[in-house]
Structure 1
Amino acid sequence: MNNANCDFSPMKQQFSIKINEIINGLQHSLEVLGNENYCLLGNLESIKEKFIKMESVASSFYLNCYLSAYTDKFEDLSTSVQWLSKRHYGALIVVERCDPLDSLIQKGTPIKAILTPSLLETIFFLGNPLHDGAVLIRGNQIISAANVLPLTTKVISERKLGTRHRAALGLTEQSDALVLVVSEETGKISFAINGKLYPINTA
């Protein structure tokens, strides 16, 4: 993965502070563990929330790093998924990287147009006949829409995943593609890469 366009220094400094806060919280929990009047649950919940927030912020940072090497439209992509998220419009967006995807995707409707936020948002507008499938992006172009992706065959026990998330995992298990997902139910944004799913900070 090409991260040459990314400056990691500010994020490392920010994460160093956050990790030290978590360490201090765990140390405090150890110190009061013998106190029967102290309940660990609140402190553990706070530490868990800090971990989740850190993962979300890191995912947002790395997402732009991963995308910028393969499309100049990564800022337009970010704008679009935020817009879709706010309106709870489900979306599945595939960014082709080094591996050709033609043999892995059941082809949908050709688009072959320059990627713009308005075009991407229109495709996933509720009621549009193309909104249920995946959009394929190659470079700065939307190649096609309403594509069908292979679903993951892994048993995922820790949480219930919808078809979009399972499709994102399925394609990234078989290729180096990056797949953005917007949940129709929650509006939450995540991306899949290398067969793993990461939440995105929507703040």
Structure 2
Amino acid sequence: MEEFESQLSPVIKKNLTETLTQLNTKIEGMIGKIEGKGCGILTEFENINRVFSNLQLDAASFYLNSYLSPYTDVFEELTISVQNLSKRKHGGLIVVKRNDSLEDLMSSGIPVGAKLSPALLESIFYPGSPLHDGAVLVEENMIISAGNVLPLSKVTYNNQKLGTRHRAAIGISEQSDALVLVVSEETGKISFAFNGKLYPVQYGAPNIN
């Protein structure tokens, strides 16, 4: 992700700076508690861990849009679609073609050839749809095909066994420069795979309690 490090927007910089400042205050408070009675220290650790997680998720959202925007004009529609899928816990797997050819890495797709829209994308992944278990291929502003089968990765993520959608997302990103959006059917959580790695995504600013 180094290619976008110098392009952090003023809003992102402001959010990260404010969050890190608040985090520093929390850490200083923890030091005071340790020097005192040490009460509530485990709760503070949980709070700080949550803040760090939110920072990572917020940064991932920025990078996701940065990776998408040079290759498609409908990245906002993609964002809306995955958010709607997430809210309903409808699983989704969306491959966004960048520079590399994907013809030899995908199979069994059904041609669609339609301009991408949230309504169309969400209908493809509606439970019970004949194509909902496969991957959608997006090139520029078009849905090229649906129901595609992707190569599965054998890696683990955070020592956890991954489901088929996530293994497929990582698998094709290991063999190409494609960016792959994944929505978990079990949890509704959104992730994206890029260069063989999986990144959780959050839309909106970090939340500190």
Structure 1 and Structure 2 fold alike (TM over 0.5): yes
Aligned counterparts of 1:31 and 1:7: Cα–Cα separation in 2 = 34
Q: Per-residue deviation at 1:157?
A: 4.8
Q: Is the CA contact 1:188–1:202 (under 8 Å) kept in the aligned structure 2?
A: no
Give the secondary structure class of the aligned counterpart of 1:184. Answer: coil
**CA deviation string 1:159-196 (max 9, x = no partner):** 33211111111111111111001111111111111122
Q: Give TM-score scaled by structure 1 length.
A: 0.90
Q: SS where residue 32 of structure 1 aligns?
A: helix
Q: Distance in 2 between matches of 1:127 and 1:156?
A: 28
Which residue type is aligned with residue 86 of structure 2? Answer: S
The code of the aligned residue for 2:69 comes to S
Q: Which moved more, 1:100-109 or 1:173-182?
A: 100-109
Whole-Å separation in 2 of the counterparts to 1:199 and 1:127: 26
Deviations 1:23-54 (A, max 9, x none): 23223333433445424211110001111111
Matched, 1:84 2:85: yes
* 4+ aligned runs moved over 3 Å, structure 1: 34-37
Identity, in percent, stands at 51
Output the aligned Cα RMSD: 1.9
Answer yes or no: is the 8 Å Cα contact 1:152–1:170 preserved in 2.
yes
Quick check: 1:116 aligned with 2:114?
no
**Which whole-Å CA distance do the structure 2 matches of 1:47 and 1:168 have between them?**
30
Aligned length: 201
Q: Residue 207 of structure 2 corresponds to which residue in structure 1?
A: none
Q: TM-score, normalised by structure 2?
A: 0.88
Does structure 1 conserve the Cα–Cα contact (< 8 Å) formed by 2:156 and 2:162?
no
- Provide the residue aligned with 2:153 in structure 1: 152
Which whole-Å CA distance do the structure 2 matches of 1:169 and 1:118 have between them?
A: 26
Task: Check 1:7–1:37 CA distance in 2 against 1; reply closer, same or farther (3 A cut).
Answer: closer
Aligned to 2:72: 71
Deviation at 1:132, TM superposition (A): 0.3
Structure 1 alignment gaps of length 5 or more: none
1:189–1:202 contact (8 Å) kept in structure 2:
no
Q: Which residue of 2 aligns with 1:125?
A: 126
Unaligned runs of 5+ in 2: 205-209
